[in-house]
Amino acid sequence: MTNSFTVECARQGDISVLAVNGFLDAHTAPRFEKSIQEEVDAGRMRLIVDCAGLTYISSAGLGVFMSFVEDLRDKGGDIKICGLADEVYQVFDILGFPALFDIVPDRQAAIDKFCEPDGKEI
């Protein structure tokens, strides 16, 4: 089905990895937002969104990243993004996300980013 979307959350130490699958658009973005909100409500500020299973994203999906990242950074956390397929990456790229978010190849690289002192800040 071309409108299925799932999020699975796994916690590793103080890092939460959200693995997203399928199609992230205006219909499914509220589900993604809810998953991130749950982590934030649980006081978890270091998030990795693993997009290896993500087939499609529109601006409604990108908006979820935008609306949370500043508060997370204020509290010493961040959202790192990994696993983007070429077709999905091009949408992030066109809107200038690579300059403002850490976008890395895979989950391990994202975990490593959290260990570096110099996270991207606006």
Partner 1 sequence: MDSLERTFQLHVPSSTENLSMIRDFVGSIGERAGFSKGEVVKLEVAVDEACANVIEHAYGSDTTREVTVKATIDSDAVEIRVVDTGLGFDPTTIGEAALDSLIQQRKNGGLGMRLIKTLMDEVHYEIVPGQKNELAMTKRRKKE
CA neighbor of 110 nearest in space, from 17, 14, 9 = 17
Quick check: 91 binds partner 1 (CB under 8 A)?
yes
Quick check: 119 binds partner 1 (CB under 8 A)?
no
Binds partner 1 (CB under 8 A): choice among 8, 14, 70, 112 = 70
Least spacing, CB of residue 94 vs partner 1, in Å: 5
**Cα end-to-end distance, the chain, whole Å:** 38
Q: How far apart are CA 90 and CA 70, in angstroms?
A: 23
Which residue, 39 or 107, has its beta carbon nearer to partner 1?
39
Binds partner 1 (CB under 8 A): choice among 9, 52, 100, 109 = 100
Angle at 15 between CA 9 and CA 20, to 5 degrees: 30
Least spacing, CB of residue 71 vs partner 1, in Å: 7
Angle at 58 between CA 53 and CA 62, to 5 degrees: 85
Q: How far apart are CA 64 and CA 30, in angstroms?
A: 8
Binding site for partner 1 (CB under 8 A): 1-3, 23, 25-27, 33, 56, 58-60, 62-64, 66-67, 69-71, 86-87, 90-91, 94-97, 99-100, 122
